[in-house]
Copies of this chain bind each other. A is one copy, B any other.
Amino acid sequence: MCELLGMSANVPTDICFSFTGLMQRGGRTGPHKDGWGIVFYEGKGLRTFKDPQPSSQSRIAQLVQEYPIKSCAVVSHIRQANRGGIALENTHPFTRELWGRYWTFAHNGQLTGYKKLKTGRHKPVGDTDSELAFCWLLHELERKYPRRPGNMAAMFRHVATLCDQLRTLGVFNMLLTDGEHLMTYCTNNLHWITRRAPFGPARLIDEEVEIDFQKETTPNDIVTVIATQPLTNNEQWHKMQPGEFSLFHLGERIAGNGAA
């Protein structure tokens, strides 16, 4: 299994605090020692940092923790390999272009019988079930929507039905973003929290770090953080239900099938 971390915000926000907690699970407080990656969107562009090394020992992870990159959409993943060897090409998140946008995907879980999924022109480069599932999603989306659909909410609802099919193959917890929308799909382990004024202090579970968001934010900021397991122990995180999907935009949950 692996751990996922995502963020959606209405103003460029740095994720150093949450990332610091997650990174400890990469070989120190958690067993996820088989690589890590994080993608930050800035407009339509993105930055990716990846390492097949344990995140708790990665020099690049250290830079990401210390260097506040501000973004409205972030997807991160730390890996405990099951399908696919420990290699850079098997390190999440995966990014591909569709409809003139970069789409970024990260998966937690394990699938069986996934090799029969048809991916068309979207060929996997590595040999993980996750990347193949992502290629299949892109292939299915391109089949149904040859051009970028006007109604993105409907498109994401269709993605959720595709995720329902993947869930029949095993455990499929997912983060998917085009840099503007952030979609989550849950099989068994995914939590989220939306922070907005009045902001308070937050305390990490995995590291002796506390932050007072009051000092870091402005009253209009809205920031949602999604994680496999809650990262703080003094806030109320929502646990997502099996088969639940949520769509976040500028920090707000704007669609979904579960209880918000």
Contact = CB atoms under 8 A, between A and B. Distances in A.
Contacts of A89: 43-46, 102
Determine how many copies of this chain the complex contains.
2
A110 interface: no
Nearest to A37: B47
A43 B126 CA distance: 10
Chain A interface, DSSP helix/strand/loop, else mixed: mixed
A145 interface: no
Given A44-B89, A46-B89, A59-B63, 20 more contacts: A42-B52, A42-B87, A42-B88, A43-B88, A43-B89, A44-B87, A45-B52, A45-B88, A45-B90, A45-B126, A47-B88, A60-B63, A60-B67, A63-B63, A89-B102, A97-B122, A97-B123, A99-B123, A100-B125, A121-B121
Interface of A: 42-52, 59-60, 63, 67, 87-91, 96-97, 99-102, 121-126, 142
